Amino acid sequence: MKPTRQDFENAVAAMTILRFFPSEPIARAMIMDLLSRMVSTKQQLEWLVRVMVDKVGEWRGPAELRALLCTRFRPADGIEGPACTISGYTPADNEAAYITEAAERYLLPVAASRDEAFEQDQLDAIRELQERVDRQIATLPPRVQRRTSGTPEWLKHI
């Protein structure tokens, strides 16, 4: 269901606790207008406001608000935003979350049934691959090693 004018007013009122949120009435009216063009449902509006208040904590402008919405929903007006720069919602963060979810969905069940499904040579191949990855990581500069070191959680179960 499309949000009502009151829903948009409540959303803007809730975001007034954000650091740097505009205090001018005309700016708030423009933000309400932006929200009414971008958001298709009340649930989308509630998610956007909840994330801004609970996780972001500061106003970063209308472009970043649109970018945040686009990380989860297609905007109602069809205008895609720039890449989101909010930590936890960047393209890299979204890709990492997708890969982790896929690994947990598809690989953990396989690992749980490894006694039935995997032969020892397949387990050895996986361990050998992880060792090769670890050796490659060792050749990287130390600051990069810190970000890439360690066995992924899903692989520890195998």
| pLDDT recorded at residue 153 | 60
| pLDDT recorded at residue 134 | 76
| pLDDT recorded at residue 33 | 97
Tell whether pTM > 0.85: no
Cα–Cα distance for residue pair 113/158, rounded to 1 Å: 9
Token pair belonging to 110: 């396989």
Q: Count H helices and E strands in the chain, helices first.
A: 10, 0
Residue spans of the domains in the chain: they are 5-70, 92-156
Token pair belonging to 149: 């070191």
Question: Please, which residues bridge with residue 19 across strands?
Answer: 58
| pLDDT recorded at residue 147 | 56
Cα–Cα distance for residue pair 108/90, rounded to 1 Å: 26
For the chain, which ranges sit under pLDDT 50? none
Cα–Cα distance for residue pair 119/131, rounded to 1 Å: 19
What is the C-alpha radius of gyration for the chain, rounded to an integer number of angstroms?
22
| pLDDT recorded at residue 150 | 57
Question: Please, which residues bridge with residue 154 across strands?
Answer: none
What does the pLDDT look like over 69-112, one tens digit per residue?
999 999 999 999 889 999 988 988 888 888 888 777 777 666 65
| pLDDT recorded at residue 115 | 56
Cα–Cα distance for residue pair 123/114, rounded to 1 Å: 9
Residue 13 Cα distances to 3, 28, 65, angstroms: 15, 9, 15
Token pair belonging to 144: 């990069």
